[in-house]
Amino acid sequence: MQSAYEIKKEICEIGKRIYQNGFVAANDGNISVKVGPNEFYCTPTGVSKGYMTPDMICHVDAQGKLLENCRCKPSSEFKVHLKVYEQREDVRAVVHAHPPTATAFAVAHVPLDRYNMAEASLFLGAVPTCDYGTPSTDELPNSMMPYLQDHDAFLLANHGAVTVGATLEKAYFNMETLEFYAKVTLMAKQLGGDQELSCEEIEKLLELRKKFQVPGRHPGCAKCKNLGTENCRCKHNYKPLADEKREDPNDSDFKAITVNSPISKKTEENADYIDSVTAKVLAELYK
């Protein structure tokens, strides 16, 4: 079970990764982890994500108020994270960054919805572009509302990207996948155009998601010509895994959490689980 210090240390490590990978510049970006119904750890405002230390990570409630003394103030864009947690019981971590290629799609208002890579199609699917919202205001989280239930990655028009996950590691990997997907799509266009997978091929990938119980949400094939009809096999009959597994919609993984153990053991176990699922899926793809 992770201690509060270990959670803060992990947030700092992910911050270094997004900074070193060029997903953020200067003091851009923010990261958070949900550890209880009304408890979160989030990155501070005005601090480079590549130079954070555990004592800078803020312990806050659902109103953004500090729950313990901290020499830093919470990120002004924590509102975005709170909206995600409010709408998605399955999400335990949120990463907001400005990965250059994906952000270029957001700035150009070019949809990142080509089902051209097996891995990106399987793990993310089409990535929506949310309407522009002024940073640090309610406009930004509200722009994500139409897409929150069906996606784990979001482009923010003229701004950047947000990815979510059952663990912080998964949320970060979704950001990596998003940027790689954007790079490949851009290069394929420069080479004369990309070739999309067929509806049947996408269906097989979604079956793999179910088979290996990949956590998170997926929109299915948004472009399917049979979408919404009885003939649609990639979206019409697809149900998010998180909804399939939760028998009681009011159920929560946080019921047994105490102050001394701020994070569910399930969160720690999910990292190994996600790694094993990813390995199995990739092995199946490359048979």
Instruction: Give pLDDT, residue 275.
Output: 66
Note the pLDDT tens digit of each residue in 19-73: 999 999 999 999 999 999 999 999 999 999 999 999 999 999 999 899 999 999 9
Point out which residues pair with 129 in neighbouring strands.
155
> 274 and 166 in contact (C-beta within 8 Å)?
yes
Q: Is pLDDT above 50 for 188? A: yes
Dihedral (Cα; 95, 143, 157, 8), 10-degree rounding: -10
Considering only residues 199 and 23, tell me which one the structure prediction assigns the higher pLDDT.
23
pLDDT at 260: 40
- Report d(CA 187, CA 142) in Å as an integer: 32
Question: Please, which pLDDT band fits residue 203 given cuts at 50, 70 and 90?
Answer: confident
Query: What would you report as the CA-atom Rg of the chain, rounded to the nearest whole angstrom?
Result: 18
Q: Does the pLDDT of residue 257 top 80, yes or no?
A: no
Average pLDDT over all residues of the chain? 86
pLDDT of residue 132: 97
The answer to whether the beta carbons of residues 179 and 101 sit under 8 Å apart is yes
Residue 164 bridge partners (DSSP): 94
Q: Which CATH architecture has domain 4-195+239-285?
A: 3-Layer(aba) Sandwich (3.40)
The pLDDT of residue 246 is above 50: no
Percentage above 90 pLDDT, the chain = 68
pLDDT digits (tens, 9 = 90+) for 130-182: 999 999 999 999 999 999 999 999 999 999 999 999 999 999 999 999 999 99
Task: Name the residue among 98, 93, 87 with its Cα closest to residue 145.
Answer: 87
Q: How many residues belong to the chain?
A: 287
Segments making up each domain of the chain, as ranges? 4-195+239-285
pLDDT tens-digit series, residues 93-103: 999 999 999 99
Q: How far apart, in whole angstroms, are the C-alpha atoms of residue 143 and residue 226?
A: 28
Sheet with 160-165, edge to edge strand ranges: 58-60, 39-42, 30-36, 93-97, 160-165, 153-156, 129-130
Alpha carbons 257 and 248: distance in angstroms, whole number: 18
Q: Would the pTM of this model clear 0.85, i.e. be above it?
A: no
Cα 286 to Cα 215, 281, 283: the distances in Å are 21, 9, 5
